[in-house]
Structures are given as structure tokens and as C-alpha cells.
Amino acid sequence: MIDRLRERGIVNEAVLAALRTVPRHDFVEEALKGRAYEDTALPIGFRQTISQPYLVALMTEQLMAKKSKLRSVLEIGTGSGYQTAVLSCVTTKVFTVERIAALSNRAENLLSAMGITNVRFRVADGYQGWKTQRPFDGIIMTAAALAVPPDLLLQLADGGVLVAPEGDERQQTLATWTRQGGHFQRHDLVNVTFVPMLTGVEH
């Protein structure tokens, strides 16, 4: 898998080391473990998916913006916890928000069993972010909103990067937004297909 990621242009050694370290097969259903290292998204229940390894690597690399380590990252959409675990390898502290309580609890238990201790979990509406912990060096969204919520952009530290898919079910673009004072510079990356970002909480 790591060789494939290198071939596709992933060059940040900290990101590659994180994906080498985190066992993706632990985050998928038993029936799908044989496909865990394919470069494809897989279902995790609740109409959600675990993202393909390339997009996990690309988003993490873009988030780091050539840094070797980040201090504080906000993840919107915990999902399986795989992206969360990867982030925990390259970030001092990860704050992750999930609107589906069962997914959040499952991911928290899994990461705890793996000995990962630098992640805080919260069940909440991702559109609100985690204002009491701002500012963040990076924010990563694992579901696509029609437009990136302004509230999330304002939770970035100066120089921080937000990475997110944006668009509807027909067309989505993965992009970065870099904060420069009161301005945000957008850079489009690739066309993608992510699950839609929803409001509210499911207990």
C-alpha cells in the first residue's frame, strides 16, 4: 500500500509512516478485512464509509503543509476512526467530532484499545466545530458540504489549513483553505466522491 501511495505522489514521510503504522484492517468489518488494503472506500455501517487510503494520505499531507508535526487538529466526521488514528501519529492533539453516537463510541473504544491517548472525542453537529478548543493548526472534513461552513474556517489558526470535499452528490472537489489573517486562500486538488455532511446528532 505504501509503495502505491508513493507512486501516486505522496511524499511526506511522516504521513507515509502513519499509514504504515495504523492497521486499516482493524477498522473494517470482518467480512471486508481481506479488502482492507485495497485503495478503495469500504462501508462501515450507518450509510458511512472508511475513505480510501490515498485520500486519507492526501488529505493528511495537505493538512500538514510541509510541517513534520501539527499541534492541534480538528476532525469533522470521526467515522470508523481510521483517519483519526492516522492524524494521531502526526499531531500532538486531535479533536474529533461525530454526529452518530454509535460510530463515535466504537471509534473511541478501538483507539483506546490501540493505546492511542492524544485524541478527544465529541458527539455533536460537525457544522459547529469545537469552538472551545480553537484555534486549530488544521481542520479536516471527512464528509462533503455544499459549501465549507464559515464557522469552521474561523476556527483555524493564522497559517492553518482546512482540507475538505465540497459539493453535492453529482460533483465534489477536494480543496484546501489556508488562513492568512482575515483572508482564506483556496486551492483545488482533485474531484472526489464523499458521503454528504449532515446536520444534527443521532443518538
Q: Show pLDDT as tens, one digit a residue, over the chain (203 residues).
A: 989 999 999 999 999 999 999 999 999 988 889 898 888 889 898 989 999 999 999 999 999 987 778 999 999 999 999 999 999 999 999 999 999 999 999 999 999 999 999 999 999 999 999 999 999 999 999 999 999 999 999 999 999 999 999 999 889 999 999 999 999 999 999 999 999 999 999 98
How many CA atoms lie less than 13 Å away from 170 in the CB half-sphere? 0
175 Cβ contact partners less than 8 Å away, ≥ 6 residues apart: 163, 164, 165, 166, 186, 187, 188, 189
Q: How far apart are CA 8 and CA 4, in angstroms?
A: 6
Q: Which CATH superfamily is domain 2-192 in?
A: Vaccinia Virus protein VP39 (3.40.50.150)
Q: Is 72 a catalytic residue?
A: no
Q: What values do phi and psi take at 201, rounded to 5? A: -130, 140
Q: How far apart are CA 155 and CA 81, in angstroms?
A: 22
Domain boundaries, the chain: 2-192
Of these residues, 51, 72, 80, 88, which one is catalytic?
51
User: Which pTM value belongs to this model?
Assistant: 0.95
